[in-house]
Amino acid sequence: MNMNGSKKEMHLSTKVIHAGNSIDPLGALATPIYQTSTFVFSSVDQGASRFAGEEAGYIYSRLGNPTIDVLEQKVATLEKAEAGLAFASGMAAVSAVILGLVKTGDHILCSKGLYGCTYGFFNWLKERFGVNFSFCEMTDEKTVMQALQDKTKVIYIETPINPTMELVDLAMIAKIAKQAGIKTIVDNTFMSPYLQRPLEWGCDIVIHSATKYIGGHGDVVAGLAVGSKELIDEIRLTTQKDIGGILAPLAAYLLIRGIKTLSVRMERHCENAQKVAEFLESHPKIAAVYYPGLASYSQNPLAKRQMDGFGGMISFCLKGGFEAGIRMMNHVTLCKRAVSLGDVESLIQHPASMTHAVIPREKRIQMGISDGLIRLSVGLEDVGDIIEDLEHALLYV
């Protein structure tokens, strides 16, 4: 049965608005912010049975909160997952999920590239706790199978990979992981559930830096993880509860509000990014553009298969290399020089010295992050204005 009582599945643009919303006893349309750390028990017996898990109900906001419940349910529904879990940041989600699944001696097989701090976390895990990791260019089944080790516990991927925009075939990875009896974790930050739902392809856990498209307005830092109830409950009761990187109720409210416009925002991000990518590709001072929606993009067929749109992220290099790129970036005015992505404002940044600076240069180059690579998160401004800003900045190169 669906939200309106019919059996027909509702469209995602309806679900972003209605999914997970609970009926407020006082009739509030917007989700109330339960700004409370703790919840009062009617008796000692009630407190004891809640702690024992014999009675449903709230105890303490690190263990559950009604505003956060709405957010978790909403994102789980959008990703077609049984359960969701909200965290204080994307990195809190990444670390809690990984720490909940691996132990010393285990191995994590990663996509060819990863967000800088995810790399930093995996490196720290290796040095301090003996959890190994390696990278693999996941081009075909044979290459991935050969990269698996006896101790591989998890395949961890980004697709598109931040910031190179290379894609990984989700169905292929999920099939290999199932055969090997291991879990697939996908960081879906660049796509949002509106454009890509990895669980539909057989992956096990999806992670988001909700700071990005899910929030969409550059005013919240947050993370999310969704998956089967069994896996998510395990993380909820271990690494989330005991390490404690939970989300605040006010931040959950802002995300619920942001998600309500996810479908219209993502449509416009895709529309704008396609036009900006085509402009950049045709510009004489640009050497290469990486955007899955370009017909010239080598993985365009895979993008069409597993994504419902090509997203708002573009990477590119100038013919004049690093120096030219920096000059161009210093002359934009509408686009803001800032890390992060998925906001209404267009954001431009330099991965080698910013988001991926923590990765040693040699490794960064292997990942495809050259010194001259520039990343643009195309915002929701009028696309003509964005293109004019880029065109003007390119005059200085």
Site residues, ligand 4LM (CB under 6 A): 89-91, 94, 115, 117-118, 158, 162, 187, 189, 209, 211, 221, 223, 339-341, 355
Catalytic residue among 58, 60, 62, 275: 62
Structure tokens at 101: 């699944």
Q: How many CB atoms sit inside 10 A of residue 300's CB? A: 16
Query: Which CA distances in Å does 102 have to 155, 156, 175, 235, 355?
Result: 11, 12, 20, 12, 26
Shortest Å distance, C-beta 222 to ligand 4LM: 6
From 346, 296, 352, 292, select the one nearest 325 (Cα to Cα).
352
Q: Which residues in 354-385 are b (16+ Cβ under 10 Å) and which e?
A: ebbeebeeeebeebbbbbbbbbbbbbbbebee
Nearer to ligand 4LM, 189 or 272 (CB): 189
Query: Which CA distances in Å does 104 have to 18, 92, 129, 330?
Result: 42, 20, 6, 45
List beta partners, residue 110: 135, 156
Shortest Å distance, C-beta 393 to ligand 4LM: 20
Catalytic status, residue 253: no
On whether the CB atoms of residues 296 and 148 are closer than 8 A, the answer is no
Nearer to ligand 4LM, 345 or 388 (CB): 345
Nearer to ligand 4LM, 148 or 206 (CB): 206
Catalytic status, residue 213: no
Give the single-character DSSP code of 38: B
Catalytic status, residue 212: yes
Shortest Å distance, C-beta 395 to ligand 4LM: 27
Nearer to ligand 4LM, 148 or 352 (CB): 352
Catalytic residue among 106, 169, 187, 343: 187
On whether the CB atoms of residues 134 and 107 are closer than 8 A, the answer is yes
Shortest Å distance, C-beta 142 to ligand 4LM: 27
State the sign of the Cα–Cα–Cα–Cα dihedral 166, 172, 177, 183.
positive
Catalytic residue among 50, 212, 265, 268: 212
Nearer to ligand 4LM, 89 or 315 (CB): 89
In the bound state, the residue with its beta carbon closest to ligand 4LM is: 90
Query: Is 279 buried (19+), middle (13-18) or exposed (0-12) by CB count in 10 A?
Result: middle
Shortest Å distance, C-beta 117 to ligand 4LM: 6
From 346, 291, 342, 345, select the one nearest 315 (Cα to Cα).
291
Shortest Å distance, C-beta 118 to ligand 4LM: 6
Task: Give the Cα separation of 277 and 329 in Å (integer).
Answer: 16
Catalytic residue among 74, 112, 115, 156: 115
Q: How many CB atoms sit inside 10 A of residue 139's CB? A: 14
Nearer to ligand 4LM, 148 or 226 (CB): 226
Shortest Å distance, C-beta 155 to ligand 4LM: 16
Nearer to ligand 4LM, 66 or 377 (CB): 377
Residue type, 259: I
Nearer to ligand 4LM, 94 or 203 (CB): 94
From 257, 321, 315, select the one nearest 290 (Cα to Cα).
315
On whether the CB atoms of residues 391 and 275 are closer than 8 A, the answer is no
From 182, 180, 181, 175, select the one nearest 156 (Cα to Cα).
182
Query: Is 386 buried (19+), middle (13-18) or exposed (0-12) by CB count in 10 A?
Result: buried
Shortest Å distance, C-beta 158 to ligand 4LM: 5
Active site residues: 62, 115, 187, 212
